[in-house]
Amino acid sequence: MIRVQDLASGRAGDKGDVLDLTLVAKDEAAYRLLARVLTVEVVEQAFAGVVPPGPVRRYEVPGLRALKFVLPRALPGGVYASLRPGLHWQKSAIWVLLHLAIEDNKQ
């Protein structure tokens, strides 16, 4: 088992009630592994109980070796009205993904 943070760096942002999370893989092999294992279902499960239930959208940007996950309605009322802990909680939300343990099939 390895953690996503061993394979990628990440960035989080928000716009209104939308949480936007982007992972950028360190190399092509890491991108292929992440693209295979970080499904919408895996990300929904990772955020279950952390943000209100809702759809997760996944976008692949292979030219940049990036995966983008968009969680609409994750910050009810927007960042200033959300009951999430701390005004800028959304900026640290990327760590929910970076800390995920995944299977490395090379072992």
pLDDT in tens, 65-97: 999 999 998 877 666 555 555 456 667 889 999
CB contact set of 46 (below 8 Å; sequence gap of 6+)? 96, 97, 100
Nearest to 18 by CA among 74, 68, 94: 74
What integer best gives the mean pLDDT of the chain? Answer: 87
d(CA 7, CA 17): 28
Question: To the nearest whole percent, how much of the chain has pLDDT over 90?
Answer: 60
Higher pLDDT, 63 or 107: 63
The stretch 38-57 carries a mean pLDDT of: 90
